[in-house]
Structure 1
Amino acid sequence: MCGIVAAVASTDVVGVLVQGLQRLEYRGYDSCGLAVHRGAPLSGEPLGAAAPRGLVRARSTARVAELMGQVRAEGLRAATGIAHTRWATHGAPAVHNAHPHFSHGPGADAAGRAPRVALVHNGIIENHEALRAELQARGYVFESQTDTEVIAHLIDSLYDGDLLEAVRAATARLHGAYAIAVLHHDEPQRVVGARAGSPLVLGIGAEADGPAAHYLASDALALADVTNRIVFLAEGDLVDVSLGRYRIVGADGRALDAAARPVKTVQVGSQDVALGPYQHYMQKEIFEQPRALADTLEGVEGIVPELFDDHGIRSRAAWRVFGEIDRVLILACGTSYYAGCVARYWLEAIARIPTTVEIASEYRYRDSVPDPRTLVVTISQSGETADTLAALRHAQSLGMTNTLTICNVATSAMVRECELAYVTRAGVEIGVASTKAFTTQLAGLFLLTLALAQSKGRLSAEDEARHLRAMRHLPVALQAVLALEPQVIRWAEDFAAKEHALFLGRGLHYPIALEGALKLKEISYIHAEAYPAGELKHGPLALVTSAMPVVTVAPNDALLEKLKSNMQEVRARGGVLYVLADADTHITGGDGLHVIRMPEHYGALSPILHVVPLQLLAYHTACLRGTDVDKPRNLAKSVTVE
């Protein structure tokens, strides 16, 4: 979601700040800005007497590139600064609501004084209204509708010569989620950060001719051009960054040693975010799926519980956990939730384990019946999804401590907080609409199904070998599916002129219909719904006309004949069908019936193949409609606020 970048150096950091924001653009945002401290000279050049001193900022409701033009026009150069991309929650997308926020101190004339505090913030402060009323009573004047400005004024009101202490006292009064980076007028080469519920990392620069530069960011990706040495801050941490040094303290103010917060080397190279020959990141990521699946399955020689032992860190924990559980609860949001819905069919059909799939944002707020013999499985691309993390913690608080995550980021909060993990290897996913993360999640969930089935004595050696052969063949099978793109483009030409669409599936492929509808609505802004095909006559059939295309996922499985009857219901009402059919389904195209034949039937794993044409359909429809494919309106990549 929102992005934070901060830096303290002896040379100009403005370029680093802007470049970091550009790396975080894929998360989605509607405004951006930066603030720098002009209180210290840059290495090798004196601070000009005419240059504005103290805190100076630039903000924009356009793209980061426009912000960079504004910064250059104003000649902003400084050795210390903070920067931010904002996705609006409190207050409309407008310059006065954009970060960084200033506090000029209390008093009606405060706006005419030099700013004393500059702050950027990710998250939501739940008690901001009470704090706002208190600060207004003390004379603070608010310029925005945001919850963030409350934090800036609160820190100013508590400041007594030490920024770290002021931030610690302020965060003790905040209810909600936050990651913040703060500057103060009186401390020109210092940034203080804090996190609770939103991610924040510390980047350690290399010492060259002088003291090392240090950085803060909401994602290590933002710092890939300046350092790969990262400290992942934990819940409640505060970090005090000055030129050439840093200090991490807990919420109680006690310093934490290096062993408690070790420096890790994180490899995120420029090639991971290079667009290459593709028009959009989403297109690139769709075509990266064969490689992503091959990487995710690399090293899987057999089905053993150790696959989920967080890559050996928690040796043999999975053997114990899998032996203790007899139910599975899956918690996820959005596309990851649909991956969990597919996994439910696998877990119950193959492992014979009762499985419940819950939308994370709903689960934590309803009265449920906890069962300590449940394996709680979370699914998240980023591993920082706020609702899923909160649902995980809620489940743990109810006594369900056997936890496992399927996640694409090995260093994420989700991986750190779950007992077991399977880290997918999709690589960096830039497009807001998830594609390769989804298919690699499915691969990880299928491995989990097989591992649980084996641990319960329900997977024969013959079935294990058969499933492993099918998984190893997935990259080749996906290449054949991607070759169907020209046929999908012809479908997209029809869809681009529509405003509504209906997606149908049955059994294992109903969640794939849901995912196809989500993709289309996310990036093309066409209203799309998905239903189990058997539910047509219970309401949705009333919507079917020639103006509403009906996409049907039709594998050659036990439900095929039932599905054909549902298709006839659509045709009898003048509906136009677009069918993804396995080669041996004997569904023939004709008037009002368009068929794309899948290269091969893939049994239990066919959802991984059938979703790819639906991804391509959404992508090409959006291109034809001229929407912003990688950054669809109102959406963010990593949803790190509730």
Structure 2
Amino acid sequence: MCGIVGYVGRRDATPILIQGLKRLEYRGYDSFGLATVGSALEVYKRTGSISDGEAGAAHLMGSTGIGHTRWAGYGEPTVINAHPQIDCEGKIAIVHNGTIENYNELRQHLEDRGHTFRSETDTEAIVHLIEEYYDGDLLSAVNATLPHLQGSYAFLVIMEDTERIIAARNASPIVLGVGDAEFFAASDLMPLLDYTERVIYLEDGDVADITPDRLDIYHGGQRVERPIELVDWCVEDTRKGGFDHYMLKEIFEQPQSFYETIRAGIDEGVRRMLMDADEITLVACGTSYHTTLIFKYLAESLCNIPVRAEMGSEFKYFTTPLNCLVIAVSQSGETTDTIAALNVAKARNCPTLAITNVQGSTLTRVADRTIFMRAGPEVSVAATKSYMAQLAALMQIINLRCEGVFDDVLSHAHLAIGDILLHDLGDAVTLCSGADHAFFMGRGPFYPVAMEGALKMKEISYVHAEGYAAGELKHGPFALLTPETPVVAICPPGPIYNVMVSNVKEVKARKAPVIALGVDGDKELAEIADIFIPIPDTHLLVQVLTASLVLQLLAYHTACALERDIDRPRNLAKSVTVE
């Protein structure tokens, strides 16, 4: 969940580290810190945002350094718990993303050996272990430390009087940027885009010894070569471009992200894999899980193929019987639970397919084959354009299984998405921003659309919201309906329309205000609802997209009205790389 960054070269490290941490701040923003090697090992840490505290790091000198932006796991978000963590003598510093599961055992052992712990973090155990094993060579000390660590880690270590970074990873990502007589290290690509397009992805078990003039990567004690890959993302894609928030910018980029993903198509190897499947299981978390539920409803009804959608966080521990194609969906390709689920599928000899936005991510290296979303960098914590690009990839699979019958629908869907962007949602925003609770309801594929709408509302506006299959409201949630509890109902035409209208009337009978989404010109629904939001009268697949976009905009503008920190909602992080 945290973000780490490192630099070794000929330039002043501090501004590079600060800029890199800003690029990674969506991974955690409870606290941040830096360490550089100048005349001595210098460390600066503080709580709060990087922009508010970066001036205090100006005194750090040196051309070798590491940095960290934290999502608090072990220990509260305090200065003492912020990274870097240092050894007893203040000579070794470490930044770490991951979870050391045997931390308590290690801490007890190290304290018995005379080490003094200052923080509550599991990371501090790593740096004290390195100190314990240090005998003149930092790489050897790190290698001696690794067998004692249980859990996940991606860490960078520096030491006074050395222009050197040691990097190690296991079940958490590290990508290296290759410059001219300089190297960069980070949790993902975002901090590297300002400086290089050449990157190296470390594998689980890799240890990298990095100096300005040399990079050596080891695996199992043996030197290995990892390929240099070229990044096709542009640094301009990571900027707001005149929008007030990254989230709004990314919402407006959705027509393009959908169109580009559709245009990219499906390669022949993936095509054969999909056509050979008699059954499909999908694994994902959060917003990605909602896209797999939408796929389940659509694929089973349109393609007549059995589909299961499973939460990655549950799948590892409660695995269903598997003998089919398993598709893992993750924006970052680094979601720990989704990767673990895919590894379970691999262990059972299932064919595996990844759908992800990031070339070179762990998921792409675990899966047999990959469909890349064409969303580009997504900075806001709340997923929007990656959601739309995932639906584009999943709808392509449906179209493939249906022998291309939806070619025209999908090739023009981005136009309908674009038509929604300037909808006036003022009345609905006023209603939602004045509420403490809200319900979202739908049926069929619009049930997971409602779930996603509720997720967006609560994660960025902090209005408590829940998404339900409309028929389930009567099985308990009706008890919570009040005149101050808005209900958002998705009511497109089709087989669910009449029963959805009945559900809306039932809600109205309990005096709860209703915000209804229906096709333009639906006079019956407009008369029943307190607020009616029209969407284009198009194909079912497109209605899923346009309804989703309306709910994203509703959440965004509600959060604006409540003056929330939209791009960095409290307690959350973009990429969930711990269980």
TM-score tier after normalising by the smaller chain length: over 0.9
Letter aligned with residue 207 of structure 2: L
Q: Which of the residues 341, 347, 360 maps onto 2:299?
A: 347
Mark the CA change 1:553 to 1:588 in structure 2 (over 3 Å): closer, same or farther.
closer
| Aligned counterparts, 1:460-479, within 5 A | 464-465=404-405, 467-479=406-418
Q: Which has the larger radius of gyration?
A: 1
Which residue of structure 2 aligns with residue 317 of structure 1?
Answer: 269
User: Could you report, residue by residue, the CA deviation over 1:332-362 in whole angstroms, capped at 9, with x for unpaired residues?
Assistant: 0000000000000122112211111111001
Looking at structure 1, the residues matched to 233 and 2 of structure 2 have their Cα atoms a distance apart, in angstroms, of 20
User: Could you report, residue by residue, the CA deviation over 1:608-627 in whole angstroms, capped at 9, with x for unpaired residues?
Assistant: 11100100000000011111
Q: Is the 8 A contact 2:29 2:48 kept in 1?
A: no
Looking at structure 2, the residues matched to 520 and 319 of structure 1 have their Cα atoms a distance apart, in angstroms, of 36
Looking at structure 2, the residues matched to 2 and 577 of structure 1 have their Cα atoms a distance apart, in angstroms, of 40
| Aligned counterparts, 1:111-130, within 5 A | 114-130=89-105
User: Could you report, residue by residue, the CA deviation over 1:162-201 in whole angstroms, capped at 9, with x for unpaired residues?
Assistant: 111111111121111000000123x511110000000001
Q: Which of the residues 88, 110, 116 maps onto 1:135?
A: 110
* Deviation, structure 1 residue 592: 5.8
Q: Which of the residues 32, 45, 55 maps onto 1:59?
A: 45
Which residue of structure 2 aligns with residue 193 of structure 1?
Answer: 167
TM-score norm. by structure 1 comes to 0.88
Looking at structure 1, the residues matched to 319 and 273 of structure 2 have their Cα atoms a distance apart, in angstroms, of 25
Which residue of structure 1 aligns with residue 221 of structure 2?
Answer: 253
Q: Is the 8 A contact 1:288 1:436 kept in 2?
A: yes
Unaligned runs of 5+ in 1: 39-52, 105-113, 207-211, 301-306, 310-315, 454-458
User: Could you report, residue by residue, the CA deviation over 1:117-156 in whole angstroms, capped at 9, with x for unpaired residues?
Assistant: 1000000011111111110100001000110000000011
Letter aligned with residue 255 of structure 1: R
What secondary structure is seen at the aligned counterpart in 1 of 2:224?
Answer: coil
* Deviation, structure 1 residue 572: 1.0
Q: Is the 8 A contact 1:60 1:95 kept in 2?
A: yes
What secondary structure is seen at the aligned counterpart in 1 of 2:445?
Answer: helix
Q: CA RMSD, aligned part only?
A: 1.4
Q: Is the 8 A contact 1:619 1:629 kept in 2?
A: yes
Looking at structure 1, the residues matched to 367 and 553 of structure 2 have their Cα atoms a distance apart, in angstroms, of 34
Which residue of structure 1 aligns with residue 331 of structure 2?
Answer: 381
* Deviation, structure 1 residue 571: 1.0
Which residue of structure 2 aligns with residue 84 of structure 1?
Answer: 68
Mark the CA change 1:282 to 1:126 in structure 2 (over 3 Å): closer, same or farther.
same
User: How many positions carry a matched residue from both structures?
Assistant: 579
Letter aligned with residue 494 of structure 2: D
User: Could you report, residue by residue, the CA deviation over 1:488-545 in whole angstroms, capped at 9, with x for unpaired residues?
Assistant: 1321112111100011101110000000000000000011011111112211111111
Which residue of structure 2 aligns with residue 298 of structure 1?
Answer: 263
* Deviation, structure 1 residue 370: 2.5
| Aligned counterparts, 1:178-257, within 5 A | 178-185=153-160, 187-206=161-180, 212-250=181-219, 252-257=220-225
**Most deviating of 347-356 and 608-617:** 347-356
Looking at structure 1, the residues matched to 176 and 500 of structure 2 have their Cα atoms a distance apart, in angstroms, of 54
Q: Is the 8 A contact 2:516 2:525 kept in 1?
A: no
Q: Which of the residues 292, 296, 321 maps onto 1:369?
A: 321
Q: Is the 8 A contact 2:169 2:204 kept in 1?
A: yes
Which residue of structure 2 aligns with residue 147 of structure 1?
Answer: 122
Looking at structure 2, the residues matched to 142 and 234 of structure 1 have their Cα atoms a distance apart, in angstroms, of 31
Looking at structure 1, the residues matched to 35 and 135 of structure 2 have their Cα atoms a distance apart, in angstroms, of 22
Q: Which of the residues 533, 553, 569 maps onto 2:470?
A: 533
* Deviation, structure 1 residue 473: 1.0
Q: Which of the residues 397, 416, 421 maps onto 1:448?
A: 397
| Aligned counterparts, 1:398-417, within 5 A | 398-400=348-350, 402-417=351-366
Mark the CA change 1:540 to 1:412 in structure 2 (over 3 Å): closer, same or farther.
same
| Aligned counterparts, 1:29-44, within 5 A | 29-38=29-38
Letter aligned with residue 533 of structure 1: A
Letter aligned with residue 221 of structure 2: G
1:623 aligned to 2:560?
yes
Q: Is the 8 A contact 2:536 2:543 kept in 1?
A: no
Looking at structure 1, the residues matched to 319 and 192 of structure 2 have their Cα atoms a distance apart, in angstroms, of 42
Looking at structure 2, the residues matched to 297 and 538 of structure 1 have their Cα atoms a distance apart, in angstroms, of 40
1:93 aligned to 2:81?
no
Mark the CA change 1:265 to 1:81 in structure 2 (over 3 Å): closer, same or farther.
same
* Deviation, structure 1 residue 323: 5.2
Looking at structure 1, the residues matched to 246 and 270 of structure 2 have their Cα atoms a distance apart, in angstroms, of 36
Which residue of structure 2 aligns with residue 49 of structure 1?
Answer: none
TM-score norm. by structure 2 comes to 0.97
* Deviation, structure 1 residue 267: 3.3
| Aligned counterparts, 1:1-12, within 5 A | 1-12=1-12
* Deviation, structure 1 residue 367: 4.6
Looking at structure 2, the residues matched to 397 and 367 of structure 1 have their Cα atoms a distance apart, in angstroms, of 12
* Deviation, structure 1 residue 324: 4.3
Q: Is the 8 A contact 1:177 1:196 kept in 2?
A: yes
What secondary structure is seen at the aligned counterpart in 2 of 1:596?
Answer: strand
Q: Which of the residues 345, 363, 387 maps onto 1:395?
A: 345
User: Could you report, residue by residue, the CA deviation over 1:557-596 in whole angstroms, capped at 9, with x for unpaired residues?
Assistant: 2110011111110111111110011125443435862111
Looking at structure 2, the residues matched to 226 and 54 of structure 1 have their Cα atoms a distance apart, in angstroms, of 27
Percent identity over paired residues: 42
Q: Is the 8 A contact 2:399 2:407 kept in 1?
A: no
Letter aligned with residue 268 of structure 1: W
Looking at structure 2, the residues matched to 15 and 319 of structure 1 have their Cα atoms a distance apart, in angstroms, of 46
Q: Is the 8 A contact 2:486 2:514 kept in 1?
A: yes
Looking at structure 2, the residues matched to 550 and 323 of structure 1 have their Cα atoms a distance apart, in angstroms, of 40
Which residue of structure 1 aligns with residue 419 of structure 2?
Answer: 480
Looking at structure 2, the residues matched to 419 and 605 of structure 1 have their Cα atoms a distance apart, in angstroms, of 30
Letter aligned with residue 218 of structure 1: S
User: Could you report, residue by residue, the CA deviation over 1:300-338 in whole angstroms, capped at 9, with x for unpaired residues?
Assistant: 4xxxxxx1x4xxxxxx43355335431111100000000
* Deviation, structure 1 residue 605: 3.3
Q: Is the 8 A contact 2:332 2:575 kept in 1?
A: yes
Which residue of structure 1 aligns with residue 574 of structure 2?
Answer: 637
* Deviation, structure 1 residue 450: 2.4
Looking at structure 2, the residues matched to 492 and 153 of structure 1 have their Cα atoms a distance apart, in angstroms, of 52
Unaligned runs of 5+ in 2: none
Q: Which of the residues 467, 485, 490 maps onto 2:427?
A: 490
Q: Is the 8 A contact 1:556 1:584 kept in 2?
A: no
Looking at structure 2, the residues matched to 399 and 282 of structure 1 have their Cα atoms a distance apart, in angstroms, of 39
1:69 aligned to 2:55?
yes
Looking at structure 2, the residues matched to 631 and 21 of structure 1 have their Cα atoms a distance apart, in angstroms, of 14
What secondary structure is seen at the aligned counterpart in 2 of 1:192?
Answer: strand
User: Could you report, residue by residue, the CA deviation over 1:345-400 in whole angstroms, capped at 9, with x for unpaired residues?
Assistant: 122112211111111001111153222xx110111110001111111112222332
Q: Which of the residues 579, 582, 592 maps onto 2:519?
A: 582
Q: Is the 8 A contact 2:176 2:185 kept in 1?
A: yes
User: Could you report, residue by residue, the CA deviation over 1:426-483 in whole angstroms, capped at 9, with x for unpaired residues?
Assistant: 11111111011001101100111222x2xxxxx35xxx24x11111111111111113
Looking at structure 1, the residues matched to 421 and 189 of structure 2 have their Cα atoms a distance apart, in angstroms, of 32
* Deviation, structure 1 residue 161: 1.3
Looking at structure 1, the residues matched to 54 and 521 of structure 2 have their Cα atoms a distance apart, in angstroms, of 56
1:563 aligned to 2:500?
yes
* Deviation, structure 1 residue 233: 0.6
Mark the CA change 1:321 to 1:535 in structure 2 (over 3 Å): closer, same or farther.
same
Q: Is the 8 A contact 2:345 2:352 kept in 1?
A: no
Letter aligned with residue 433 of structure 1: A
Looking at structure 2, the residues matched to 134 and 544 of structure 1 have their Cα atoms a distance apart, in angstroms, of 55
Looking at structure 1, the residues matched to 271 and 454 of structure 2 have their Cα atoms a distance apart, in angstroms, of 38
Looking at structure 1, the residues matched to 19 and 543 of structure 2 have their Cα atoms a distance apart, in angstroms, of 41
